Amino acid sequence: MSGHSPHLIAREGWWHVGLAIAAALVVQGLAGLAWALPLWLLVVFVLQFFRDPARRIPSEPLGVVSPADGRIVFAGPAQDPFLERPAQKISVFMNVFNVHSNRSPVAGTVRERWYTPGRFFNAALDKASEKNERNALWIRTDEGDDVTCVQIAGLVARRILCYSQPGERLEQGQRFGFIRFGSRVDVYLPENARVTVAPGQKVSAGSDLLGYLVR
């Protein structure tokens, strides 16, 4: 599976965790625990940032699971800028304490992928959807519904990772990417989709439902 990670720590974080631990051990060996304590605290922060726990995917064939951990900052009608259609848009804001692995909201085939360079505004702001650096996947479900999932860089995020390419299949809740530090993921659903979340609500990637596709 693309970007699949069975580990408690995301593979994107192994280098960072190893470097932080090595630095703490060197300072502790040379100067003692008191001097190394800030570095051990950094190790704890890096470990929590790159954690990647397994998730239980709900058995809801027409359900749309959250692609990210975080807080809903928008849910309602909007224009899908990639498929150029009226849509239901749901935006999930991730702060630095959330899990930053991204998961597919639906099962289907990746039809297209777009990368757009951009700015690094606060990802909680509406203009982040149009102005910030972003990577979008167009996924067509087995039932023929089109869903757009957009990874958006945030104020301090400087790297979006996406492992899926056009033609590949993604299962619902399958890990497909990662964004470092605070950021955001937008999902555009068909206009007739039923949205079941509201701004302010907290969601978990792969396990909490954002809404349902309507047949």
Active site residue 183: yes
Alpha-carbon span 204 to 182, nearest angstrom: 15
Please check whether residue 46 is in contact with residue 195, taking contact to mean a CB–CB distance below 8 angstroms.
Answer: no
The residues, ordered by sequence, that sit 6+ positions from 90 with a Cβ below 8 Å of its Cβ are 72, 74, 75, 186, 187, 189, 195, 197, 210, 211
Angle formed at CA 127 by CA 188 and CA 173, multiple of 5 degrees? 35
Closest CA to 129 of 194, 187, 197: 187
Closest CA to 124 of 164, 73, 175: 73
Closest CA to 12 of 124, 151, 135, 160: 160
Which of the residues 66, 91, 183, 204 is marked catalytic?
183
Which positions are catalytic? 183
